[in-house]
Amino acid sequence: MRGYFKISWLGLLLVFSASCARIDNSVITAHRGASGTAPENTIIAIKKAIELGAGFSEIDVQETSDGEIILLHDKTLERTGGVVWNIWETPYDSLKKIEVGSWFAPEYAGEPVPRLADVMDAVKGKIKLNIELKINGHEKALVEKVVALIHEKNFQSECIITSFDLNSVKKVRQLDNNLKVGLIFSKYPENIDVFSLNVDLLSVKYTLVDEEFMRKAREHGKEIHVWTINEPEMMKQLLDLGATSIITNYPGKLRALL
Ligand code: G3P
Ligand code: CA
């Protein structure tokens, strides 16, 4: 009997230590979903990211001609959908007929361009979203609609909103000061001290990140998200430097490293 209790206590201790050692998966951001293994910016790619252990999925959002918020990186559907349509001139009813999976691999033929609302419904509670506002110059109410969807779907604590466009980031802040926002950049914007901006995070190209950069970020209380890192050696270097999240097409590689 006493031996049994000893073993049970040992078991409990092992379970406790294992749960303490569990990694914080928010350091893994899948880029456009797990876009190294499934077609970018689709629900299947985000589900793949969940399977591979990512805590976040980055996605690109734009607006259709009739105001639906959808996932798409490029300005047109040429590369992923095979039609040369500008997204701002395409109504959602036409977009629905386009598939964006077969360019990646035949088994993904038929994957649709998802709406942000569909993505939120499909993955809520399973992965957080880094919603990148992709500005194409034809927006009518992209920022307002994204913020409204976040409220409608109660996604406030399950997303961050990022953009290369500082005005859009500022607009998010004005609409809801509690949402977590970040500026994306690949080189330092002119006449702006990025570290002093009223944003929670900086989402930067890996080439800008070194010890000095991380020191300034820490001093100003900014999270640093780094893109797009697909090689384990580089992932390791950035983890050692203290990156908050690493944006990768291959979340499984980063998970394995952690
Ligand atoms: O979110 C950062 C990263 O996705 C920016 O580059 O071109 O892949 O949207 P891009
Ligand atoms: Ca992006």
Q: Are 242 and 214 in contact (CB under 8 A)?
A: yes
User: 60 in ligand 1 pocket by Cβ < 6 Å?
Assistant: yes
Q: Looking at domain 26-255, does it have CATH number 3.60.9.10?
A: no
Give 60 Cα–ligand 2 centroid separation in angstroms: 5
Give 225 Cα–ligand 1 centroid separation in angstroms: 11
Between CA 83 and CA 33 the distance in angstroms is 22
Between CA 44 and CA 114 the distance in angstroms is 10
Give 6 Cα–ligand 2 centroid separation in angstroms: 53
Q: Are 114 and 127 in contact (CB under 8 A)?
A: no
Give 196 Cα–ligand 2 centroid separation in angstroms: 23
User: Where exactly are the structural domains of the chain?
Assistant: 26-255
Residue of 133, 201, 228 with the most ligand 1 atoms within 8 Å of its CB, for mutation: 228
The predicted model scores a pTM of 0.92
Ligand 1, atom 2: closest residue by C-alpha: 227
How does pLDDT run along the chain (258 residues), one tens digit per residue? 455 445 455 555 554 444 445 678 999 999 999 999 999 999 999 999 999 999 999 999 999 999 999 999 999 999 999 999 999 999 999 999 999 999 999 999 999 999 999 999 999 999 999 999 999 999 999 999 999 999 999 999 999 999 999 999 999 999 999 999 999 999 999 999 999 999 999 999 999 999 999 999 999 999 999 999 999 999 999 999 999 999 999 999 999 999
- At residue 22's C-alpha, the angle toward residues 231 and 208, to 5°, is 35
User: 227 in ligand 1 pocket by Cβ < 6 Å?
Assistant: yes
Please list, residue by residue across 228-253, b when 16 or more beta carbons sit within 10 angstroms of its beta carbon and e when fewer do.
Answer: bbeeeeebeebbebebbbbbbbbbbb
